[in-house]
Structure 1
């Protein structure tokens, strides 16, 4: 049962972030035996950060643990903003750039 004290405490803990969404890059995909052979999560994170810096909504680009998508020979990436959730399976840097462009179109 909730009391007004619980609401006041929860309200004191919540803050408004400076970003409007997040792009999540799975760090576990590259470690799997059937993961991508040449694509690294850190490189994809840097590429997304570079490609998505001019969006009207500021995205926080982070490397995370398993997203549960687990594509074969690929890296899982997801973006969340403006009430939308998008995901992609990346096998190359070209696909990472294409995913960044798709995220930009969706969140513009």
Structure 2
């Protein structure tokens, strides 16, 4: 007898993933840290009418040189991915994500 897991409704509209493995690579970013990027994204996305969860994850498989990999999946929207080398890149990603989920 097959038994499917119970599914529950959530108030989250999507998830933003920040790769925590990028900063540990020898060719990873020199100035950005995953915790710092998460904090900046949370602040940049806090004004949205929908809730997005920003989490640190293991390798996303994007592995950019001298950058942190970012990915976002939101309900009803195309997935976004980016390479953040600077804080300005993180801000640009947050603004692009905000425009796409409004």
Tell me, yes or no, whether TM beats 0.5. yes
* Residue ranges of structure 1 left out of the alignment (5+ in a row): none
Partner residue of 1:52? 45
Are positions 1:17 and 2:15 aligned together? Answer: no
CA RMSD of aligned residues (A): 1.2
Post-superposition shift, 1:14? 1.3
Q: Secondary structure at the match of 1:16?
A: coil
Query: TM-score, normalised on structure 2?
Result: 0.93
Return the index of the structure with the highest Cα Rg: 1
Which structure is higher in helix share? 1
The match for 1:73 is 66
Separation in 2, partners of 1:69, 1:23: 15
Return the alpha-carbon distance in structure 1 between the equivalents of residues 10 and 25 of structure 2.
33
- Output one character per residue of 1:47-102: Cα deviation in whole Å (capped at 9) or x when no partner: 00001012232100000000000001100000100232100100000110011001
How many pairs align?
A: 101
